[in-house]
């Protein structure tokens, strides 16, 4: 993703990180774009992003939310963007199909027609939460519940897993032209982030891995 971002971005580019959280990806792009905005529905994440952006001196960063109306208001005032990011499972946490379609619609309306690009990644149904999938008898395909340890506690979360066909269909139904589906990684992200050896191995495996067996699936789309 970082390599593809480097290819797509210029100092004049405009960018929206949809589901930006506390700025995990967004803050790394400071100085590489002309105009940037982060949108999220979590007040706590947005507060942390504001503090981090202020500490880095990124006063020009637009921080949007938690109200959903904040995004179309921003687009109406500042214009559509060249690149929309929706990375590492943001879409998967929107488990209602109707709400996912609405989120994709908001992304499409924020993107410049024709020249704009959406970069999106989702968890692969064949690699993620296999035990949880077996426990969800009668649930919709790919829908799982799991628990995450946060600040010493255990938080229940819902997740929607994808295969390539489902991802392509939902993007197409939302009005996107899918230009490419690819393998985001073969190894889990935590391994890649924390281990140089894992990054090296993943760099070799990812280009040759069949899409069905990758850890995460990424899509590049336009409208």
State mean pLDDT over 153-170: 91
Does residue 134 surpass a pLDDT of 90? no
Q: What is the DSSP letter of 110?
A: H
Does residue 137 surpass a pLDDT of 80? no
Task: Specify the higher pLDDT residue, 146 or 138.
Answer: 146
Q: Where are the domains of the chain?
A: 2-222
Does residue 150 surpass a pLDDT of 80? no
Predicted pLDDT of residue 138? 67
The architecture (CATH level 2) of 2-222 comes to 3-Layer(aba) Sandwich (3.40)
Average per-residue pLDDT in the chain?
Answer: 93
Lowest mean pLDDT among 39-43, 75-79, 82-86, 149-153: 149-153
């Amino acid at each position: 993703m970082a390599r593809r971002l480097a290819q797509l971005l210029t100092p004049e580019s405009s960018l929206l990180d949809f589901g930006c959280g506390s700025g995990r990806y967004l803050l790394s792009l400071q100085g590489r774009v002309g105009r940037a905005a982060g949108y999220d529905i979590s007040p706590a994440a947005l507060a942390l992003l504001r503090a981090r952006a202020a500490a880095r001196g990124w006063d020009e960063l637009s921080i949007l939310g938690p109200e959903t109306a904040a995004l179309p208001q921003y687009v109406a005032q500042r214009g559509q963007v060249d690149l929309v990011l929706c990375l590492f499972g943001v879409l998967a946490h929107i488990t209602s199909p109707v709400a996912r379609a609405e989120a994709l619609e908001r992304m499409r309306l924020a993107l410049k027609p024709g020249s704009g690009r959406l970069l999106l990644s989702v968890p692969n149904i064949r690699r993620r939460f296999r035990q949880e999938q077996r426990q969800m008898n009668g649930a919709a395909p790919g829908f799982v519940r799991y628990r995450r340890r946060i600040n010493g506690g255990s938080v229940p979360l819902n997740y929607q897993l994808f295969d390539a066909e489902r991802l392509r269909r939902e993007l197409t139904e939302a009005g996107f032209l899918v230009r490419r589906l690819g393998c985001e990684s073969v190894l889990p992200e935590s391994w890649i982030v924390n281990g140089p050896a894992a990054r090296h191995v993943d760099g070799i495996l990812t280009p040759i891995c069949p899409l069905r067996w990758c850890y995460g699936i990424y899509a590049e789309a336009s409208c």
